[in-house]
Amino acid sequence: MSKYLDKSIEELHKLLKSKKIKPIDLVEEAFDRIEKNKDLNCFITLNKEEALKKAKELENLEVDNLFFGIPIAIKDNICTEGLRTTCASKILENFVPIYNATVIDKINEKHMIIVGKTNMDEFAMGSCSKTSYFKAPHNPWNFDKITGGSSGGSAACVSGRLVPLALGSDTGGSIRQPSSHCGIVGMKPTYGRVSRYGLVAFASSMDQIGPMTRNVLENAELLNILCGKDPKDLTSTDKKEEDFTRFIGENIKGMKIAVPNYFVSDIVSSEVRDKFNEIVKLLKDKGCSVDYIDIDYIENAVTLYQILAMGEASGNLARFDGVKYGYSYENPKDLEELYTKTRQIGFGDEVKRRIMVGSYILSGENANVYYDKAMGVRDDIKKSFEKAFKKYDFIIGPTTTTEAYDINEEFNDPSKSFLDDILVIPVNMAGLPGLSLPMGFTNNHLPVGLHIIGNFFEEAKMYKLASFIEKELKLNLDPRGGKDE
């Protein structure tokens, strides 16, 4: 079997353009790799038949853009017309949308080929992908480790080189945290940068779709085609079209970087902190200034997230009631039983827990005590970040506090799972863009990520810094370690 899929997108584009290869070569290779790595459990649904058919059809078309004929994997909470979209939940086990998410339309316009829908935490609720109704995916770097989550399947299939590109979604770190654990590049764009139409909502004011890729350049290239104002999503922003790759390769000398003290406090393992400190040293060596600063309220971000995201989720997930679509409890004795049994059987524990917490938080007087107050503090966090960005180009820190933990580790304390996202959640509270980039390996040879936070709509600038560091580090990010499959 050929190894085209180890090549860069630009190389593949040249080969396709010069007719040295055909899209079907890439699709067949992708399914071959997926098949050989099915133990990783990256996918919930494969789109093999359709993908092969589409690859064949593309042979009659001109190779008109960089992504023409390139295979891509889609997180299973993004609606794909005619292709099952489960959100890794029993309640949507047989749900086949009759419409595409806006990002899927954009991908189809570029003639990319969707190979399948990736595994994830149920309704994106979790940070290890273990809440999936279809069992957790495994980390390509170490089968016994978690992928992180909730976009665990997307991270693992890119990391394992099964597919060059994937889409994830990030409500409280769900793109960046698994990207860190799996050693890939993951971008959560500014809230409003990418249309949410067709993304099954978890917490509407935080959800954002983003690219997950093997390297920085391909990440920027993929974001180029995803973003834009969408009349179907009122929260999407009208911004001038731009090329996110345009600063890549430029020097970073003189850039002002801030490190929040909280991000290097003892909540972070010493091993991860050491890796991060090496990056700080590198940046200083290359002429950047690095200051340690305090950002007010970021230590409250997880608490706010629990209140606001759960509240919104309790509303967003109310529609799954067995009346219109999805799993429906059979022969209920009355309406009440249809509702309670459908939801009791259809949802997993974590989802039910979050719906209950969210409902409680919004009930009666609690709405004022918790929800309104949290919205106020959320504004304050945003203002703290805005203040910092008046002075600094970037805010950086580690993406995760530790390396990926054992997949069999039981987590009895549900609140602990939120602590996995303690460093990435503040970004969602403020709506800022955040990117995770591999910054090295732990002693167990597990990748850990650097978290770059940019100012609103400054993704292009973030790619410049990320790409510079990537080039300096020259990490071998192929978990197969150069071995033959």
Interface contacts to another protein, rule CB under 8 A: 77-79, 85, 87, 92, 95, 97-99, 101, 196-201, 203-205, 231-235, 311-312, 314-315, 318-321, 323-325, 335, 339, 359, 362-364, 367, 371, 375
Q: How far is the CB of 173 from another protein (least distance, A)?
A: 19
Which residue shows structure tokens 């609140």? 415
Nearer to another protein, 101 or 212 (CB): 101
Q: How far is the CB of 339 from another protein (least distance, A)?
A: 6
174 is catalytic: yes
What is the Cα–Cα distance from 188 to 73, expressed in whole angstroms?
A: 17
**What are the DSSP E strand ranges found in 127-221?**
165-169, 185-188, 209-213
177 by DSSP, 3-state: which?
helix
Nearer to another protein, 70 or 313 (CB): 313
60 by DSSP, 3-state: which?
coil
Q: How far is the CB of 234 from another protein (least distance, A)?
A: 6
CA nearest neighbour of 452 among 444, 460, 151: 460
Q: How far is the CB of 314 from another protein (least distance, A)?
A: 7
75 is catalytic: yes
150 is catalytic: yes
Q: Which of 154, 159, 174, 179 is catalytic?
A: 174
Nearer to another protein, 99 or 411 (CB): 99
Q: How far is the CB of 367 from another protein (least distance, A)?
A: 7
Nearer to another protein, 61 or 323 (CB): 323
Nearer to another protein, 31 or 320 (CB): 320
**Token pair for residue 391?**
């002075």
Helical axes 48-58 vs 23-36, angle rounded to 10°:
160
**Token pair for residue 478?**
């192929």
Q: Which of 127, 150, 236, 417 is catalytic?
A: 150
Catalytic residues: 75, 150, 174
